[in-house]
């Protein structure tokens, strides 16, 4: 081999070559990801298209596409939301500023809720009783104005009001409905205790019946039983639905007290006129929180507080004047399940509202990424940061997920409405599991996504006025209240195992789980070695392939975890076996929920009447599906469901679809139809973003 010749200019040449290599890498980074398989000329065309795409598009075609897509997304009650938005837009005194003390935020939040009810004329409890879908639309709109307002509204109506109308009987509705609806009776939902949150059956607060006075005596037996994190309790609540153990004296074995399990009781906690705390009740403030500081969370202790027997919410269990207990449900467990089953509306609302938070976050991040220009090819203008493949990889699957979650939660709301109308047992069971799974999956995804959106906006994302800090902090607790996400996913896994067992007993399956009955045998057979290698775009974008892939994964996980549980049960017992397989069970639950989400997205695409809009939704749906498959490609490779060449094709196509979605990203976020009042972040405005930002800081 000839020796390398050294010249005096070699250092300069090396620097030039290094610079050229960096430019080449940057150029490849900007190219259409699929261009490596095209001809040289096509590759250049792809580069020109990517550079051109960096400009924000304001052509009528883009606006028309956004309008058509918005019409497809718009729910039945968008007009109701628009009225809420307009009411707050016209009232600057009710808009939440960037900087606010806890005390001021609480006072403002209560004024916002009072104004919504008493001035705007919204009657949330009436809506929840007559049309739950419209109620959830109002809750989402209120949460857009201020997440604290949405949560405070949910505490008053979903929890306090919902417990009265769902767990009580006619006498309770007659007495309390109007007062709750008009906000004359602000209330709380006192379930969680210092020592127990998720394990509701282990609550320690007692409600002992006194047959002499015909009253229940509500008592906090120890510090661990103090009701904790109770929304509306610190300042504004006048009543509380208190969950306590119903104790009947002398009716147990050997004359011992009988514990009839957890029941709900209406307990007045403050004077309606003076707001003074009532005798026997001790209330303390839980203090400043990470977020949601417009909500006044408090702690409640009861010192032998007496309430009338009629204050027992007695739909599922009652006590007569002579102290006899009656129930249409034969066991404590069945009564407990029925009680909690009536409270799933809170979970539905949280899942629905979490999607709203995700839409706001994605909208701000995408609009800023289109606005922000950094670097570019030599002697050419800087390009939008959304033209970088790495930025597309961060934000475009997230944008696709926003659409997927939108359709999934709309379907959940419709199913919840059906449940309230029909009281069908199968629908009730379906809603319980779906609300658990979707609430857990969506809120976890949104929490992670807010941080990604903040990072994608660089230093400007760190400014409080651009909202990511508040969105992240206010939304974070969505993963915990109304059921810890890990606990909720276990409920989904448990139900899947129950359905799996029913399949082999020849029983019927609930509608959502039908695919387990229809095709479990197919999914659990050996993968077809021919289809495992198919890599054509038409095949990969076929919704049947996508849905089959999702369901195959769920079926495999279900079959394997069932076998593991059976094996470990022999040596560890039921609880030990469940704990040994817990991570496997959580993965199973998430996989199933992803299958449900994709199925609802595919259905929505098919329903869309406008051809061009349907094609756009199909593009977004394909990205959602293939991105999810690629993120779990190891599972598919391990069982040879996908051959190496097909895995590579999925990755390549997912990148290409991210690029395609980027080209219509502005239209996709504009179609969310979120007014400036809801976005608020200067960097997320549709126009003059930098001007609004500089004006905010004083220029």
Kindly list the catalytic residues.
Answer: 482
Q: How far apart are CA 463 and CA 302, in angstroms?
A: 44
Number of H helices, E strands in the chain: 26, 11
Radius of gyration for the chain, computed over Cα atoms and rounded to the nearest angstrom: 28
Q: Which two tokens stand for residue 352?
A: 């629905």
The answer to whether 233 and 190 are in contact (CB under 8 A) is yes
Q: Which two tokens stand for residue 286?
A: 């839980």
Q: How far apart are CA 108 and CA 111, in angstroms?
A: 5
Measuring CA to CA, how many Å separate 511 from each of 429, 431, 559, 653?
10, 11, 20, 32
Measuring CA to CA, how many Å separate 244 from each of 19, 41, 192, 320, 329?
72, 74, 10, 18, 18
- CB < 8 Å & 24+ apart, contacts of 479-482: 479/440, 479/443, 479/444, 479/447, 481/229, 481/350, 482/346, 482/347, 482/350, 482/439
| 3-class secondary structure, 239 | strand
Contacts of 281 (CB under 8 A, 6+ apart): 267, 269, 300, 301, 302, 303, 305
What is the 8-class DSSP label of residue 303?
S
Q: How far apart are CA 140 and CA 478, in angstroms?
A: 14
Measuring CA to CA, how many Å separate 169 from each of 160, 174, 189, 313, 637?
15, 9, 18, 7, 55
DSSP string, 531-594: GGG---HHHHT-HHHHHHHHHHHHHHHHHHHHHHHHHHHHHHHHHHHHHHTHHHHHHHHHHHHH
Q: How far apart are CA 192 and CA 74, in angstroms?
A: 36
The answer to whether 47 and 30 are in contact (CB under 8 A) is yes
Residue (of 600, 620, 618, 598) closest to 610 by Cα position: 618
The answer to whether 269 and 283 are in contact (CB under 8 A) is yes
Q: What region does 373 belong to: left with phi over 0, alpha with psi -120 to 50, or beta?
A: beta
H-state helical runs in 119-208: 124-130, 132-145, 147-154, 162-167, 170-181
Q: How do beta strands 239-248 and 227-231 pair?
A: unpaired
Burial tier of 616 (Cβ tally within 10 Å: 0-12, 13-18, 19+): buried
The answer to whether 204 and 210 are in contact (CB under 8 A) is no
The answer to whether 386 and 665 are in contact (CB under 8 A) is yes
Q: How far apart are CA 126 and CA 112, in angstroms?
A: 19
Q: How far apart are CA 31 and CA 680, in angstroms?
A: 34
Q: How far apart are CA 33 and CA 660, in angstroms?
A: 10
Q: Which two tokens stand for residue 503?
A: 């399949």
């Amino acid at each position: 081999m000839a020796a390398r010749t050294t010249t005096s200019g070699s250092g300069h040449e090396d620097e030039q070559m290094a610079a050229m290599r960096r430019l080449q890498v940057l150029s490849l980074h900007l190219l259409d990801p699929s261009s490596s398989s095209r001809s040289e000329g096509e590759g250049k065309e792809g580069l020109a298209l990517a550079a051109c795409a960096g400009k924000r598009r304001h052509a009528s075609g883009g606006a028309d596409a956004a309008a058509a897509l918005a019409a497809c997304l718009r729910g039945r009650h968008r007009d109701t939301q628009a009225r809420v938005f307009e009411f707050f837009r016209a009232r600057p005194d009710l808009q939440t500023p960037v900087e606010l003390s806890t005390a001021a935020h609480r006072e403002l939040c209560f004024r916002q809720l009072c104004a919504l009810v008493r001035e705007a004329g919204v009657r949330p409890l009436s809506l929840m009783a007559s049309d739950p879908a419209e109620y959830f639309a109002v809750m989402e709109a209120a949460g857009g104005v201020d997440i604290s307002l949405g949560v405070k509204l949910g505490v008053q109506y979903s929890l306090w009001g919902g417990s009265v109308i769902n767990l009580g009987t006619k006498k309770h509705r007659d007495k309390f409905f109007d007062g709750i609806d008009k906000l004359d009776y602000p209330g709380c939902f006192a379930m969680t205790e210092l020592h127990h949150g998720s394990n509701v059956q282990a609550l320690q607060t007692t409600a002992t019946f006194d047959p002499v006075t015909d009253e229940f005596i509500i008592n906090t037996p120890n510090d661990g039983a103090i009701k904790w994190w109770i929304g509306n309790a610190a300042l504004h609540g006048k009543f509380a639905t208190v969950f306590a153990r119903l104790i009947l004296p002398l009716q147990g074995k050997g004359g011992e007290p009988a514990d009839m399990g957890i029941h709900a009781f209406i307990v007045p906690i403050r004077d309606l006129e003076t707001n003074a705390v009532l005798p026997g009740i001790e209330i303390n403030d839980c203090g400043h929180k990470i977020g949601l500081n417009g909500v006044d969370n408090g702690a409640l202790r009861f010192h032998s507080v007496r309430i009338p027997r009629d204050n027992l919410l007695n739909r599922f269990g009652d006590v007569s004047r002579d102290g006899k207990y009656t129930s249409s449900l034969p066991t404590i467990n069945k009564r407990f399940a029925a009680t909690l089953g009536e409270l799933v509306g809170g979970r539905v609302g949280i899942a629905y509202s979490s999607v709203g938070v995700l839409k706001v976050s994605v909208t701000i991040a995408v609009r800023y990424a289109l606005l922000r220009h950094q670097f570019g090819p030599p002697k050419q203008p800087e390009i939008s940061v959304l033209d970088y493949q790495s930025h597309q990889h961060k934000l475009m699957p997230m944008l696709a997920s926003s659409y997927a979650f939108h359709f999934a939660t709309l379907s959940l709301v419709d199913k919840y409405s059906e449940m309230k109308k029909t009281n069908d047992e199968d629908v009730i069971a379906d809603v319980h599991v779906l609300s658990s799974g979707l609430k857990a999956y969506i809120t976890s995804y949104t929490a992670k996504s807010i941080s990604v959106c903040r990072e994608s906006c660089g230093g400007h994302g760190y400014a409080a006025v651009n909202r990511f800090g508040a969105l992240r902090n206010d939304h974070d607790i969505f993963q915990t209240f109304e059921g810890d996400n890990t606990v909720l996913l276990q409920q989904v896994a448990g139900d899947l195992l129950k359905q799996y067992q029913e399949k082999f007993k020849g029983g019927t399956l609930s509608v959502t789980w039908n695919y387990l009955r229809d095709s479990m045998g197919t999914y659990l057979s050996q993968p077809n070695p021919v289809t495992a290698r198919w890599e054509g775009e038409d095949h990969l974008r076929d919704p049947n392939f996508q849905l089959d892939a999702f369901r195959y994964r769920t079926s495999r996980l279900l079959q394997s975890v069932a076998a593991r549980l059976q094996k470990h049960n022999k040596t560890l017992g039921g609880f030990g076996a469940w704990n040994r397989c817990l991570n496997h069970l959580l993965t199973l639950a998430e996989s199933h929920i992803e299958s449900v989400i994709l199925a609802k997205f595919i259905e929505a695409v098919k329903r869309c009447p406008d051809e061009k809009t349907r094609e756009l939704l199909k593009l977004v749906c394909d990205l959602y599906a293939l991105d999810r498959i690629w993120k779990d490609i190891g599972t598919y490779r391990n069982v040879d469901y996908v051959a190496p060449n097909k895995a590579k094709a999925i990755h390549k196509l997912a990148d290409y679809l991210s690029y395609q979605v980027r080209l219509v990203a502005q239209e996709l976020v504009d179609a969310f139809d979120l007014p400036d009042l809801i976005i608020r972040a200067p960097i997320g405005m549709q126009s003059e973003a930098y001007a609004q930002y500089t004006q905010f800081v004083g220029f």
